[in-house]
Amino acid sequence: MIRIRQPIAKHRRMPLTPLIDVIFILVMFFLLSSAFGVWRLIDVGIAGPQPSASQGDKDSPAPILITLRPDGTASGIRIQVNGLRFEESKLGTELERLVSGGASAAIVLPSEDLSFENAVRILDAARLSGLKSVSLQIR
């Protein structure tokens, strides 16, 4: 009897394309579900009507008034503190100076067409300056 040997089967290579697709999908899932930004709360009160000088406490200083308007500058915002214009880079220094002079509260008055990002950036700078109370006055 004659035996015919069966040829040895070649090892089939595993296709890498489906594996690469699965890895890509996993990488995209983890990138999109991860949070890279730091989220934190900013404690801001909504300012109501202020008492007049005769009704308020005469020993407490008046709150600092910070008005915000959009501008065509690089920062995109025009800042006035108690009527005087300041650059955003010098705002913290001015607020710290006013806090050392006895100020403890500020009212931020943004215009209606100011971006939310700019308003939050100024609110954050006001809180970091050492003010005890920062209020947002919305028209």
Is the pLDDT reported for residue 2 higher than 90? no
Three-state secondary-structure class, residue 122:
helix
Query: What's the pLDDT at 21?
Result: 92
Distance CA(104)–CA(79), nearest Å, equals: 19
Query: What's the pLDDT at 6?
Result: 74
Q: Hey, which residues does 78 pair with through a beta bridge?
A: 69
Please choose, from the candidates 134, 61, 132, 130, the residue with its C-alpha nearest in 3D space to the C-alpha of residue 96: 130
What does residue 121 show for φ and ψ, rounded to 5 degrees? -60, -40
Q: Are strands 77-81 and 64-70 parallel, antiparallel or unpaired?
A: antiparallel
- Position 123, amino acid: L
Q: Taking the domains of the chain in order of start, what are their residue ranges?
A: 61-136
Query: What's the pLDDT at 35?
Result: 75
Query: What's the pLDDT at 49?
Result: 59
Is the pLDDT reported for residue 125 higher than 90? no
Are 69 and 77 contacting, i.e. CB atoms less than 8 angstroms apart? Answer: yes
pLDDT digits (tens, 9 = 90+) for 81-120: 998 888 888 888 898 888 888 888 888 888 888 888 888 8
Tell me which residue has tokens 């050392």: 100
Query: What's the pLDDT at 102?
Result: 87
pLDDT digits (tens, 9 = 90+) for 14-64: 788 888 999 999 999 998 888 777 666 666 656 555 555 445 555 667 888
Is the pLDDT reported for residue 78 higher than 90? no
> Does domain 61-136 correspond to CATH entry 3.40.50.2300?
no
Please choose, from the candidates 125, 48, 118, the residue with its C-alpha nearest in 3D space to the C-alpha of residue 92: 125
Query: What's the pLDDT at 53?
Result: 47
Query: What's the pLDDT at 70?
Result: 86
Are 118 and 136 contacting, i.e. CB atoms less than 8 angstroms apart? Answer: no
